[in-house]
């Protein structure tokens, strides 16, 4: 498993739990050290226990060495980050770098063949026009006899990632011919889900379409919720009617007015699909408006909070800073933006989020929160202090609020129906 972030390491532990021997490879010395001493590199419900079981059975290890990771390997899974670049397109440097390293290691291992599966979200055509040429240039003209490329997007949600791995909504396998991959079928043989075999580009586009659709549903529902609020109409009743139509409105997921979308997937993938659409002159005006609509909703919720506070100042407790409760992922969390707005407006702010330990944050997660909230270490408080504080308003962003006794408190829940 190349890349031991939220998706990669969780999948590595799930795969090991099925009896496969898994070696994780990552450039981070801290992550490798954490795993070696039996500490999960981030918070995810059930992950620590799953990791311990795999380590005790000698089915899981971690290394910085690509060559070491590939010895005796049947399948290499690439799950490195593809963050947003300056123009909104995905930054593909990590994909290119790990591909070069795998290709170079294969070159130095004569007679070795390998299935290389990519799970990172990336633009359609990436395998054909970036990854394949790298293997060809390093391994040689006969590279396809030694390397079987696959694109297999992941559909893991933070806070439910382990359950999602074993019960995915679907399995998508993209290959050069669109035919099944025996190695990938072996990997998924104990998982019951609809399996779609496609060419590379259909599989590559799947994650963009899924995440952009989820983003559309969230933004659409919040716009309707704001209109309802302005007109004095019950958004709860409108939502009840909307989701009752499972024949035409598909499902109730992501259609309930509430918090802004955020996290590590939706914002960056919407940006990247906007770039792709612009690049091919597809004129996707709704998609172009999604991030602006989401920012408008963040401002709307901040303004709603201000209505509940004394003018010019006050004491605010925020319950939940991470994008989802029970995780410590702060990347593009709308709750981080909300916290920054309170501080910039001159309010005294404290944050209760028991899963969040700044010293354990890594990579983009670490950089994002300290660029947005450089005083994060001073903002965090424990449960006793949170419940004892004299707050003018408690802003509950997710299920973290359920851990507190908020009796007789002024509460504004950003994640509930408007």
SS3 track for 217-271: HHHHHHHHHHHHHHHCCCHHHHHHHHHHCCCCCCCCCCCCCCCCCCCCCHHHHHH
**Mean pLDDT to the nearest integer, 355-366:** 86
Residue 410 CA to residue 317 CA, distance in Å, equals: 10
Provide the pLDDT for residue 242: 85
- For residue 233, the cross-strand partners are none
Examine the pLDDT at 358 and tell me if it is beyond 90.
Answer: no
Of the three residues 153, 182, 207, the one that is the final residue of a domain is: 207
Write the CB contacts of 302 (distance below 8 Å, at least 6 apart in sequence). Answer: 338, 341, 342
Of the three residues 192, 207, 222, the one that is the final residue of a domain is: 207
User: Are residues 314 and 183 part of one domain?
Assistant: no
Reduced to 3 states (helix: H, G, I; strand: E, B; else coil), residue 72 is coil
Provide the pLDDT for residue 59: 98
338 neighbors 414 (Cβ within 8 angstroms): yes
Instruction: For residue 369, name the pLDDT band (cuts at 50, 70, 90).
Output: confident
Residue 307 CA to residue 387 CA, distance in Å, equals: 23
Provide the pLDDT for residue 217: 84
Residue 281 CA to residue 203 CA, distance in Å, equals: 22
Examine the pLDDT at 354 and tell me if it is beyond 70.
Answer: yes
Examine the pLDDT at 251 and tell me if it is beyond 70.
Answer: no
User: Are residues 197 and 54 part of one domain?
Assistant: yes
Residue that is written with structure tokens 């303004």 in the block: 303
Residue 221 lies in a domain: no
Residue 278 lies in a domain: no
Provide the pLDDT for residue 186: 97
Residue 256 lies in a domain: no
User: Are residues 312 and 200 part of one domain?
Assistant: no
User: Are residues 129 and 17 part of one domain?
Assistant: yes
Residue 358 lies in a domain: yes
Encode burial over 21-38: b for 16+ CB neighbours within 10 A, e otherwise: ebbbbbbbeebbebbeee
Provide the pLDDT for residue 252: 65
Provide the pLDDT for residue 418: 59
Residue 230 lies in a domain: no
Instruction: For residue 57, name the pLDDT band (cuts at 50, 70, 90).
Output: very high
pTM of the model: 0.83
Range of the domain at 411: 308-418
User: Are residues 202 and 316 part of one domain?
Assistant: no
Provide the pLDDT for residue 264: 81
User: Are residues 171 and 45 part of one domain?
Assistant: yes
Residue 198 sits in a domain whose CATH number is 3.40.50.720
Backbone angle region of 157, left / alpha / beta, with phi > 0 → left and psi within -120 to 50 → alpha: beta
Residue 20 lies in a domain: yes
Reduced to 3 states (helix: H, G, I; strand: E, B; else coil), residue 102 is helix
Residue 281 CA to residue 38 CA, distance in Å, equals: 50
Examine the pLDDT at 150 and tell me if it is beyond 70.
Answer: yes
Annotated catalytic residue within 14, 79, 228, 265: 265
Residue 302 lies in a domain: no
Closest CA to 155 of 108, 211, 112: 211
Closest CA to 149 of 201, 218, 222: 201
Residue 331 lies in a domain: yes
Length of the chain: 418
Residue 324 CA to residue 406 CA, distance in Å, equals: 20
User: Are residues 201 and 313 part of one domain?
Assistant: no
The beta-strand segments (E) located in 36-91 are 60-63, 75-78
Write the CB contacts of 255 (distance below 8 Å, at least 6 apart in sequence). Answer: 217, 220, 221, 239, 242, 243, 249
336 neighbors 364 (Cβ within 8 angstroms): no
User: Are residues 324 and 187 part of one domain?
Assistant: no
The total number of structural domains that make up the chain: 2
**Mean pLDDT to the nearest integer, 35-48:** 96
**Mean pLDDT to the nearest integer, 223-247:** 89
Instruction: For residue 362, name the pLDDT band (cuts at 50, 70, 90).
Output: confident
Q: Which residue has the higher pLDDT, 258 or 127?
A: 127
Reduced to 3 states (helix: H, G, I; strand: E, B; else coil), residue 355 is coil
265 flagged as catalytic: yes
Of the three residues 190, 207, 224, the one that is the final residue of a domain is: 207
Q: What are phi and psi of 76, to 5 degrees?
A: -110, 125
Residue 157 CA to residue 408 CA, distance in Å, equals: 34
**Mean pLDDT to the nearest integer, 114-123:** 96
User: Are residues 322 and 187 part of one domain?
Assistant: no
User: Are residues 172 and 315 part of one domain?
Assistant: no
Q: Which tokens belong to 263?
A: 């996290």
Measured torsion, CA atoms of residues 274, 277, 282, 287, in degrees rounded to the nearest 10? -20
DSSP summary character for residue 144: G
Residue 337 CA to residue 251 CA, distance in Å, equals: 29
* Separation in Å, CA 56 to CA 38, 44, 52, 53, 393: 9, 19, 6, 5, 47
**Average pLDDT score over the chain:** 93
End-to-end CA, the chain: 42
Provide the pLDDT for residue 367: 84
Residue 5 CA to residue 161 CA, distance in Å, equals: 12
**Any idea which of 19-33, 218-232, 286-300 has the lowest mean pLDDT?**
218-232
Residue 170 CA to residue 295 CA, distance in Å, equals: 31
Instruction: For residue 243, name the pLDDT band (cuts at 50, 70, 90).
Output: confident
User: Are residues 325 and 179 part of one domain?
Assistant: no
Residue 390 CA to residue 183 CA, distance in Å, equals: 59
């Amino acid at each position: 498993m190349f890349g031991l972030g939220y998706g990669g390491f969780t999948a590595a532990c799930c795969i090991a739990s099925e009896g496969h021997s898994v070696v994780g490879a990552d450039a981070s010395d801290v992550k490798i050290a954490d795993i070696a001493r039996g500490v999960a590199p981030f918070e995810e419900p059930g992950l620590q226990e799953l990791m311990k079981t795999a380590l005790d059975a000698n089915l899981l290890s971690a290394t910085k060495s690509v060559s070491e990771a590939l010895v005796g390997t049947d399948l290499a899974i690439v799950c490195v980050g593809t963050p947003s670049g300056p123009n909104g397109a995905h930054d593909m440097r990590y994909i290119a770098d790990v591909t070069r390293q795998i290709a170079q290691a294969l070159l130095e291992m004569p007679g070795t063949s390998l299935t290389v599966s990519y799970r990172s979200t990336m633009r359609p055509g990436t395998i054909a026009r970036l990854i394949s040429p790298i293997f060809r240039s390093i391994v040689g003209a006969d590279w396809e006899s030694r390397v079987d490329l696959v694109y297999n997007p992941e559909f893991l949600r933070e806070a439910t990632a382990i359950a999602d791995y074993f019960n995915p909504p679907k399995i998508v396998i993209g290959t050069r011919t669109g035919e099944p991959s025996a190695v990938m079928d072996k990997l998924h043989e104990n998982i019951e889900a609809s399996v779609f075999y496609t060419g590379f580009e259909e599989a590559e586009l799947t994650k963009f379409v899924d995440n952009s659709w989820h983003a559309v549903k969230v933004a659409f529902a919040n716009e309707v919720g704001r209109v309802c609020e302005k007109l004095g109409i019950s958004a709860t009743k409108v939502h009840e009617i909307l989701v009752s139509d499972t024949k035409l409105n598909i499902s109730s997921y992501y259609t309930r007015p509430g918090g802004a979308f955020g996290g590590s997937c939706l914002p960056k993938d919407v940006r990247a699909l906007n770039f792709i659409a612009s690049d091919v002159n597809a004129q996707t005006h709704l998609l172009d408006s999604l991030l602006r609509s989401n920012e408008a909703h963040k401002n709307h919720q901040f303004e709603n909070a201000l209505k509940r506070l004394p003018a010019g100042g006050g004491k605010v407790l925020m319950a939940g800073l991470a994008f989802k409760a029970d995780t410590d992922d702060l990347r593009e969390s709308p709750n981080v933006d909300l916290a920054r707005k309170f501080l910039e407006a001159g309010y005294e702010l404290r944050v209760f989020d028991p899963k969040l330990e700044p010293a354990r944050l890594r990579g983009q997660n670490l950089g994002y929160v300290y660029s947005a909230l450089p005083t994060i270490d001073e903002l965090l408080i424990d449960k006793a202090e949170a419940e004892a504080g004299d707050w003018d308003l408690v802003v509950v962003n997710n299920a973290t609020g359920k851990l507190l006794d908020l009796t007789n408190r002024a509460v504004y829940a950003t994640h509930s129906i408007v």
